[in-house]
Structures are given as C-alpha cells and as structure tokens.
Structure 1
Amino acid sequence: MLEAGGKLNGTLPPWGILTGVRPAKIAAEMRKRGLDREGIVPALMSEFMVREDKARLLADVNATEEKAVSLAARDTCSLYISIPFCPTRCAYCSFVSYATPAYLATLPDYLDVLCQDIERVCREIKESGERLLTVYIGGGTPTVLDGKQLDRLLSVVRKSIGDTRLLEFTVEAGRPDTVTAEKFDVMLSHGVDRTSINPQILDDGVLELIGRRHTVADFYRAYETARKSGIACINTDLIAGLPGSDAAMFADTVDRIIALAPENVTVHTYCVKRAAEFTEKAAVEGDRLGIYSYSGGDTSECVDYSQRALYAEGYLPYYLYRQKNAQGNLENVGFSKPGHEGLYNIFIMEELQNIRAVGAGAVTKLVGGEKEKIKRIFEPKYTYEYLKEHGKRE
C-alpha cells in the first residue's frame, strides 16, 4: 500500500510506515534482540520501509545514546520545571497566550506557587528513594525572569535537592533578547552547566516575519555572553523550512553556527500547528508561504545539508523525535560533540526513568508500573489554572 501511494504521489515517506514520535525506541529494541549498528539499518529498511539514510541516522542515535541510557536505572529520576512565558509569540507557535500582557502579569504569583511545588516534589523524590540525575528548566522562555527572580528560583531548587550531585542542570535561554550577563552569573552560581540560545535562523527578514523580537546581531551578542560566562554546554536550536527561508539561507545558517562551535546543535523541522498564526493566515488567505509542503521541498534539502555538515565537523546525533504535520514527514535531531550529549533529552525521549514535572503545562511520567505502562500526570495547561489548582492542593 505504501509503495502504491508512492507511485501515485511520486514520493515515498522517508520514515516508511513509522508514525510514532520516538523511532529511536525501535532501534533500541533491535539492539536488545542482538543486532549491532550494521544489523539495525537493514532491519529498519525491511521491516518498516525506512529510507536508508534515515535508518543509518537512527542507528547512529542508538549508538551515541547508549552510554547515557546506561545511567538511567529504574531508581533514578529527572526533574522538569516549566516557565511558560515568552516575551513575544512566534508566528509558528500554537501557544497563543504565553506572551500576552495579562498572562505575563501572572508571573510573580506563578513563581511563588512554583517554588512551593518544587519543594513539595523534591520532598517526594527523597521519600521515594529515587536518585535525581538531571534538572531541566524549560518553557516558554525561562530567562523571561529577571535576575532576582531567576536567583530565587534556582536557590529554591538547590535548597530542595540538598547535596544531590546532578549529572546535568539545564536552564533554557532560548530568546537572545532575554539574555544578560547577570542571568548567566546567577545560573553559574547555582551550578547550572547547560543552556540553550536559539536563533532558529540567521536572517533578520525571516526573524521579523516569524515574530522574533531579536536580530542576528542580538543572537551573536547573547551567544558571546553565554560563552564568556563559562557555562560548560551551549545548545543552539535551528528550524528548517521556516516560511520566508530557503535551502541556501539555511545552509548559510548552519555553517555560521558550526563556526561558533557550540557543544549541541538541534535541528528541527518546521511543523504546522493548528493554532499558530501562520496556520490561521493560511486558512484565510491561502498558503502563500508554503507551510503545507508534504514532500518537504527545500526543507528536505535543509535537513540533509545540516546533517552532512554536522557529521563532517565531528558532531554526532544523540536524540531524535518526530512531530505530527512536520514538513516532508521529516524529523528533529539533536547533535552533540562527543561527551556533551544532553542527558535529559535522552532520558525523556527513551522513557527510561521517572520524569517529575512541576509548573503549568508540565507532564510527569512514571515508568515501570503495572505491565510496564507509563503513567502520565498532567498539570493544568495555563498559569491561571495552575494557580487555582494549587489552591486546591493547599
């Protein structure tokens, strides 16, 4: 049936019959069956009709993440802390209210409640006997907090986890326009060793089109600030296939990012999200920006180029996931310099340990329960709902 559809449409999906978010779990199962890297590739191609280059990519991810996977014993966990606020809304993002003035006005109360929740969850972790391996503060944009707010948050985290020696402590700083030297000094004083500064693409025209409030020059300043701070691991996120961009522009972005030598580079594929501004405009005005590109077009060239370039510079893929409605049915891949893999990203993708999560929109995942099913506990999506729910807990 897949081959018949391919003949009809003139293209075959690169991931064959795979539809799941986490294809690396399939490669891991094949490894358990005794297949090595070279055995996994033909197995993926024959059993799931995965294209050869994607099968090799998946086998490489499995090989790279193997050491990290061995750390995630069943008595370990990680902690995710949600800061669901942004300075502006990106036109490709489906979180409509994260950047509205009314939503941002809830931030002080949210921080009060969040700190209480962190203390509660950390007590539960200690009582359970679990070993906390990583802490990940994501969003939104955590660095929308000012220096004092960030210091308060990280102080509560440090006090709550006590003398726990973390393997990794990440604070996302995704928006260059929210980065300051003061904030990185605060991070370092509390043991943060990984951050992410995300240009998405290095073109001022596209940045303006997608609703970012920063320029390419702002990104370079933010990156230099992070590097000078001494933080050990910096990730940069890129998005292939953004409206207004093309393959040449994206290739130039990849080359310029590689020249900076960040420890991690994550290449995302543009994904059509139902409530995003771009999607709403396409419904009214027609798809003038080409967001509905089922074959991938330039996006496929962008992804292919980024992977070739990163491999050539010694980066290795260490985690991979897919999303619904991604252009060209393509993937998101995190690349790393050897020894700098983002542990939390691997742990959550492979679902090998409990992920304790606090904050609006956060999802706790408890693994290894009855019949090895994963239990998910969802926090309220929006901050005002989270604040109300917390009142019930008290």
Structure 2
Amino acid sequence: MTGMVTQARPPRRDDGSSVQIGALVPLTRPGWIEAGHHLLAGLELAASDVNDAGGIGGRPLELVVRDTAADPQKAAAAVDELARLGVAALAGEYHSVVARAAATRADALGLPFLCSSSVLDALTDQPTDWVARLSPPQSRGWRIYADFLLGAGHSRIAVAAQPSVYWAAGTRILRDYVAPRGGTVIELDMSALTPAAVCDELAAHRATALLLLVGHPEPAVPIVTAVRRDQRLAETMIGAPAGQPEFAEWAALLGDDGAAVPFLRYLPERLTPLGEQVETALRERLAAAPSFVAYEGYDTVTVLADVLRSHGTDRARIAASWPSVAVEGTRGRIQFSRTPDISVWQWAGPPVQVVDRDPAEAEPGRFRVLHTG
C-alpha cells in the first residue's frame, strides 16, 4: 500500500484543488497491521465526514497515505516526501519509535504533525511547537497500569522485554513507580530466552505477574501459550500494557488463553454523542468493533479540520494554533497544553482504562473495565 492516496468523497470544485493531510500508518509487516487498519479507518471516516460537511472552506480534504511498516527510516523518508508534496500537516502513526522518527523530522522541516496513537514521552529531543499528540504519554498510562497491578496485590512483577527504546522506557516507568511502594520488577531478556525458559524464570523468581513488552504475534502469542500450559504458573497473571489484546487477531490466535490479560485502552466510560455516531459508522467500515485506535484516528482529522478552517493551510499558523484548539471529539473535549517533561503539545485529558477480555464463557468478545485513571 506504499504510495497509496485516498480521497474520501470530496465535494466537487471546478479547479480540482484540495487541502492535503499526510497520513502515516503501519499497513505492512513488521508493522502492527490490524492497528494500522483501525487507525486508517478512523482517519478516512473523519475525512469523509469533513467533506460531506463542505470540506475546508469548500475545498475537499484529501488524505495522502504512506505506509510506515513500523520502520523509523521509512517514516522519516515519508515525512520528507509529504513535505515536498505540499501537505498542510501530518497525522497518524501507531508505533511509538516510528512516531518519534516522524516527529523529529517534522520538527526539523517545520511541518505540523498531530500524532494519533503513540505514547513515548520523548517524541522529540527538545521542546517543539510543531508537534501535538492525542494519546496520553507513556509515563501517565503505565503508572496507571502500575497502580492497577499494586492494587491487585502484585508486587513481584516480571517483564518479558525485547530490546527497544519503547519497552525500555516502559520498564523504567514501572520500576520507578513500584519500587518506592514495595514492588520489584524482574527483567527477562527476550533476545536470550525461549517461552519455556520464561516459564522457568517466572517460577524461580516467584513472580505473580508477567508483562508482555514484546511484539505481536511473535513472540507474545507463544509466551502466553507456554505460561497458560505450565501448571507451576496457574496463578500467574499475564498483562500487556501496550494493548496487544485489544484487537481481534489476539483472540483469534489465542482463544480462551487470550482472555484475562489486562491492557491499557484509551476510551472513556461513555463515548460522546459524536463518538456514538462514529462507533456505528466504524463498525460498518471495519466489519468489527472499533478499537480505541480508530477513535484516535477520527479525532486526529477532526482536530486538524477545525484548525484548517480557522487558521488556513499555512504551516506556521497551524503549529501556532495548538494552544487555542478546543474541539469536541469522540472521547471528550480536546485541548492541548504543555505538560512537564513532555516535549510536544499534549492533550492533557485523554481517558485511560485498564481492561481485559472477559474470561466468562458466555462473553468471549466482551471487555471488562478493571481500573480507570
């Protein structure tokens, strides 16, 4: 899908001009394809709704989509290309390390970027006015997850982690939060361990919780299967703060073994009236229940369309508008502010839940809300 351009039912104009937004989405492996499809569905639905409402001052809104494939270098090259093509702004991306590469390049080029679904605190090395973000920073979400673990009685927490800036940041956040509260984080290096060896380590360390800080489906699925089959670990909770169980592929690959694996989800107790309308349309578009990532995509284009209508397509004016944004999204009112230790403009109020797939046999597709923050 690299190089694909989509246009969502724009109103007709004789001169054929459009306002273009560059959309960065993981659509091929090793990217998380299902997340990419949900993100793109939200982006495209919002663009369609914008155009049905008259576009941007009568001009059609057009998404210029580029597949990042979870590759930071590919994402940076896409930002360069989209900047040359003249897009007014960038939207999207799911993988945090990829979003960091895109944000760094957008900052260098002076191209506004509204990041949809990536949580790494340090999206850029230095504070920037060119980048804003909808998803909560990792430090906030993962501390809420740590609160859930401690509240559930888990003080010996093992993390099965692959080498990554994102996973390393998550491990550090967890350790710094639980250690003063009497907890211990045990690191298991997945570049050196098999799933069977992970089970042995869990038993040896008497860990009561195992967190999957690894890719999906490999090696997350084999690890879950191994732990569920090991009688020594019958009482061990498996968790996935990064959200792997959110998507249908998780349930399809793991069945009952994939239930009761708590993860972070960025949805409120109740969607806004707009969110309820969007949910219906996304279900039809995806032929499945929309994930929080789809709503993030929708909100991204909704915010950018509001900015473009109010401030035009000049890139500097768009970037200067972040502090004045006040938009009703699918999950609440979106406003950006400066947050301590976060280098980009941040939506301070995105909802955060810890949820899991209900293990009850009668409700295999239902999610339980276990904790909110």
Structure 1 and Structure 2 fold alike (TM over 0.5)? no
Q: Normalised by the size of structure 2, how large is the TM-score? A: 0.31
Bigger helix fraction: 1
